[in-house]
Amino acid sequence: MIDYKKFISINPNIRFGKPSIKGTRITVYDVLSWFANGMNVKDILKDYPELSEEQIKSCLAYAADREHKIRVA
């Protein structure tokens, strides 16, 4: 799995502290919602050429890690 910590940061001054791709204002949520709406990596790279495939995949890795850590009470 990609080490998402290289690409994802949480800064309270950027997008209200939502996890974002470093050096951008694009959040993990943004990327996940693009996938949910039918976009693929190629589509995202076409619309956002400032991103890399690795950055996009790091959003998926971040989401997978968070999902893995959820505990049911």
pLDDT tens, residue by residue, 14-36:
999 999 999 999 999 999 999 99
Instruction: Determine how many CB atoms are found less than 10 A away from the CB of residue 63.
Output: 18
CB atoms within 10 A of CB 28: 23
Read off the CATH number of the domain in which 19 is found.
1.10.10.10
Instruction: Count structural domains, the chain.
Output: 1
- Return the pLDDT at 57: 97
Helices and strands of the chain, counted as H and E runs: 3, 2
* Domain interval for residue 44: 4-69
**Which pTM does this prediction carry?**
0.90
